[in-house]
A and B are shown apart, each in its own frame.
Chain A
Amino acid sequence: MNTESFASIHRKTLISVLIIISAALLGFRLFQMQIINRNAYENKSAENSIKSIEQLPLRGVFYDRNGKLLVSNVPAYTLRITPAEYDKKLNHLLETVLEVDSGYIDNILYQYRAFSKYQPVKIKRGVGFDIIAWLEENSEELPGVDYIVEMHRDYPAGVNGSHIFGYIKEISPKQLKKQKDYYNLGDYIGYKGLEKTYEKKLRGEKGWKYVLVDSRRRMIGKYKDGKQDLRPVKGSDLILSIDADVQKIAEQEFIGKRGALVAIDPQTGEVLALVSSPEYDLSKFSYITPKEFLSQLYSDPSKPLFNRATMSVKPPGSTYKMLAAIAGLDLGVITPSTTFYCSGGVDLGRFFKCHGVHGNINVIHAIEKSCNSFFYNLIFKIGLDKWAEYSRRFGFGHKTGIDLDEENAGLIPTSKYYEKIYGPKWPRTIMASLVIGQGETSVTPLQLAQYTALIANDGVTYQPHLVKGYIDDNTGEVVPYQYKKIEAGIDKKVFEIVKEGMFLVVNGEGTATHIRSDEFKIAGKTGTSQNPHGKDHAWFVAFAPFDNPQIAVAVLVENVGFGGTHAAPIAKKVIEAYLQNLKDNPKQLDKSIAILKQ
């Protein structure tokens, strides 16, 4: 027997030590958790039980210069699935109802597998009302399936404007990396056009609602009675300089044609219409973009996504002749009475042709008749670099800075440019091509419109722009944006001479007499840009009314031939539409704003 060991003091001590060590171990562990690592656990605890729900603001809309709604928001249904409650047996049924391929739902759910099972996943946007009605009726049999209302863009004015407005799209992971501070996965962002340029103004500010949730992320109440909630701030509405009626007419004129049109108010630089044809259907971009639609757009040889108005660079043809005339008159190398002889061309080592025999001709009639010989002679008096300098003063060779992010600078060659290619003895006859708007000279329709506006308004205008201002939500007033003033710094008399020539193009014996209008005096200039790849491109620039110019237009129609025939009638239509509108309904915007304020 081992009785001396029974309940011995040693064994009691051993048990005491065991109790104390265990308790100390637990105490130390508690100290570690509750005192040392408290903050980390506290953060986790807060994350656990407070859920912040994003409150998306309403995106700002677009009005035209007369207060007509161009781009608005309309509600659309988005179908969602909460994976924790959803039964995958319903996949087939839902896929049939939604008319999507089998595997569509599994594929989307797989993409979101890393997120909480209790967080709803957006399955399809723009779901029809019939499907929503079916969903409501059968909600008992469709656990975990619901819908929300999201806003998408609508274009109620019937204006296409694809190259003006642009579109919004779900933010790409790449963009998201750069702009984490505001955007989240699944947010919309302006991708192109004004939607992109004015993104920050249009998007408004997100709001946040804080709610308490339980362990299954179910909402069980407001956090601090909603005192910390942040209301979303609506995006600002923009007032565009576009005239919806004029834009619509311009777009209609371009149906079936490739080309571009830019109309500017020469006194303000406001773009009245901007068309690049072919256009694309913006409404297909506004919530969900079918893949076939996108690939079709990208592979279309007529490049509908390419903004020809600001991006296409082409030789301006004879529309560029005014520039040399202005330079010559301003430099004093010619006067209005200076004449050059046209024998159907000029011999400059090789024979440079004119399209007629004009005899002795002065600057006004040289513009009217578009006489090449006059300008072949003139350019040698001006010199290439002086000519290039005047080009830059009229906005060529650099971007105009219009509020669209896609724009090309074009090219105005200088002597340095040719020295680089041909050396110091570069063939001077090149200048003869340049002065009549051929060869390397290349411009965008927008630049040409700005140049026409500068001529029309005697050398003063403002940077071309599409947005006049935005509506202040507190006051309802329009807050105008300020734009840079552009001055050519040339005497008014020079412009009067050149404009006289342009007037005669339409109203004298010029190249566009077929668009003569009795109501509005139009002045213009035709141009044909030689195209080595096919038919020539037709140009026409014009402004009206002659005495007090309200609109300046540049029109480009690709691959059709002579400018007077194809481009000039479009310009006339646009000019007449705008001037008629101005005459019938002065101060339309002020009236519209008054209505909006109510």
Chain B
Amino acid sequence: MRIDYKLRDRFDFGLLLPVLILFFIWLAAIYSSTYKHPSAQGNFNRQIVWGIAAVIIFFVVYSLPTNTFKQISIPAYLVTILLLIVVLLIGRKVSGAKAWLSIGGFGFQPSEFAKIGTILAMAKFLSKKTVDIETLKDLSIALVIGTFPVLLILMEPDMGTAMVFLSFILILIFWKGISVFAMFVVLSPAFIAVSSLFGPYYFYGALVLVTIILIVFRKNLFLSGSIFALNLASGFFTEYVYRALSPHQHKRIQAFIDPMSDPLGSGYNTIQAKVAIGSGGLFGKGFLAGNQTQLQFIPEQWTDFIYCVIGEEFGFIGSIIVIGLFVYLFFRILNIASSSKDEFLSLTAIGILAVFFTHFIINIGMVVGIMPVIGLPLPYVSYGGSSLIANMIMLGIVANIYRTRKMYA
């Protein structure tokens, strides 16, 4: 069956357009933030090279036969796991996390690509005809596929990426059609875990809440008891994980709770980021005219804090445009996910949406001071080759799914 589609039909300009606009905003922001910077002046040119490479990769991925993704899902996942183990052994440490591999002078982050492999592998498993997500066995397998890389990433340790994984794992099983109760079983240990970070009273309070909800569900005593035990274990396990976190991550969590507790230390970035954005006003201070940016108040602001540059130099209008572009992109991906007739492709698309969305909400949330400072780049805008290439591969997969959406009727 061969249908001669029009280009518009095969290529979703709505998908690429926001990314192209973000691309130019990104060029401006990188240029501005590294302008006159003593050590980062080469970043702009380097990023252009990355950008060109990323666009090529996008079109390559876009042109691949769609069933390739399903075929490579298991090998990709295994390679991913392997790389994550390798990075733990011979990786390079950057700001406290052993997350970088050096290959021929280029550094890249396996965890960026691990997202793709894990999404594909989970989507493949979940889309099997025999899988019932409501059974404990299948749910557990899905969760193990998803969380095994998370354990490796937490050992680096890289909190941010781990959170991205948790986010798309949840969205994937949600999209698959998990019931409210099963979702509760999955989510409640996480809820307990987060609560226990705030101290014993929060922990006890959360436990009581979980118990009440369990009673409301009126499930049998054995199941309820097991779930309660799982929750309890999660609380104690968190204590152990928290200790395993690096000191700079402890500081960041504390600084989020009270940034002024250490104004020159970990709270410093948050304060300066807020000053940069707030002082931008409605129209911003103008390109290359933001004093917070140009005077380099935020260290390495071209990476995770790039949104400050936009907020300061292009103001409220520029910041809102960026948010608008992302929201538009999210809805395009959501529509593709929802309109795809193939379960595997639909799940893959929704997983990719979850990755972008989590990056977006955590990055901007941290810059405007409503989220803890967890190092996560803003997709398409932050400096960084691995993340750009990984994002463009994911966008290419979504565009590919759109291209062939009618073949999988």
A34 to B132, Cβ gap below 8 A?
Answer: no
Contact of B279 among A2, A30, A41, A117 (CB under 8 A): A41
B368 to A48, Cβ gap below 8 A?
Answer: no
Q: Does B357 contact A (CB under 8 A)?
A: yes
Question: Which residues on the B side are within 8 Å of A2 (C-beta)?
Answer: 132-134, 177-179
B177 to A49, Cβ gap below 8 A?
Answer: no
Q: Which residues of B contact A (CB under 8 A)?
A: 132-134, 171, 174-179, 264, 272, 274-282, 291-292, 295-299, 311, 315-316, 319-320, 323-324, 326-327, 330-331, 334, 337-338, 343, 346, 350, 353, 357, 360-361, 364-365, 368-370
B281 to A19, Cβ gap below 8 A?
Answer: no
B278 to A19, Cβ gap below 8 A?
Answer: no
B365 to A40, Cβ gap below 8 A?
Answer: no
**Residue of B at shortest CB range from A19?**
B330
Question: Which residues on the A side are within 8 Å of B364 (C-beta)?
Answer: 26
B295 to A212, Cβ gap below 8 A?
Answer: yes
Contact of A41 among B277, B297, B298, B299 (CB under 8 A): B277
Q: Given A33-B368, A34-B316, A45-B279: A214 and B338 within 8 A (CB)?
A: no
Question: Which residues on the B side are within 8 Å of A15 (C-beta)?
Answer: 171, 334, 350, 353
Closest Cβ of chain A to B373, distance in Å, is 15
Contact of B315 among A6, A8, A34 (CB under 8 A): A34
Q: Does A496 contact B (CB under 8 A)?
A: no
**Residue of B at shortest CB range from A84?**
B264
**Residue of B at shortest CB range from A22?**
B361
Closest Cβ of chain B to A541, distance in Å, is 68
Interchain Cβ contacts under 8 Å between A and B, 24 examples: A2-B178, A6-B177, A7-B175, A7-B337, A7-B346, A8-B177, A15-B334, A19-B327, A20-B327, A22-B361, A23-B326, A26-B364, A29-B369, A31-B316, A34-B281, A35-B316, A38-B281, A41-B277, A41-B278, A45-B292, A48-B297, A215-B296, A215-B297, A220-B295
Question: Which residues on the B side are within 8 Å of A294 (C-beta)?
Answer: none
Q: Which 10 A-B pairs have the closest CB atoms?
A: A41-B278, A5-B177, A45-B279, A34-B316, A215-B297, A33-B278, A49-B291, A41-B279, A42-B279, A6-B177
Closest Cβ of chain B to A580, distance in Å, is 68
Q: Given A7-B175, A16-B334, A19-B331: A45 and B275 within 8 A (CB)?
A: yes
B337 to A38, Cβ gap below 8 A?
Answer: no
Docked Cα-Cα span, A11 to B171, in Å, equals 10
Docked Cα-Cα span, A215 to B263, in Å, equals 13
Question: Which residues on the B side are within 8 Å of A19 (C-beta)?
Answer: 327, 330-331, 334, 357
Q: Given A23-B323, A48-B295: A34 and B277 within 8 A (CB)?
A: yes
A117 to B264, Cβ gap below 8 A?
Answer: yes
**Residue of A at shortest CB range from B182?**
A2
Docked Cα-Cα span, A1 to B129, in Å, equals 9
Question: Which residues on the B side are within 8 Å of A41 (C-beta)?
Answer: 274-275, 277-279
**Number of residues on chain A facing chain B (CB within 8 A):** 41
A27 to B323, Cβ gap below 8 A?
Answer: yes
Question: Which residues on the A side are within 8 Å of B295 (C-beta)?
Answer: 48-49, 212-215, 220
Question: Which residues on the A side are within 8 Å of B179 (C-beta)?
Answer: 2, 5
Q: Does A12 contact B (CB under 8 A)?
A: yes
Closest Cβ of chain B to A9, distance in Å, is 8
Question: Which residues on the A side are within 8 Å of B264 (C-beta)?
Answer: 117
Docked Cα-Cα span, A29 to B179, in Å, equals 33
Q: Does A25 contact B (CB under 8 A)?
A: yes
Q: Does A3 contact B (CB under 8 A)?
A: yes
Question: Which residues on the A side are within 8 Å of B343 (C-beta)?
Answer: 6-7
Question: Which residues on the B side are within 8 Å of A22 (C-beta)?
Answer: 357, 360-361
B281 to A42, Cβ gap below 8 A?
Answer: yes
Which of A5, A6, A33, A48 has most chain B Cβ within 10 Å?
Answer: A33
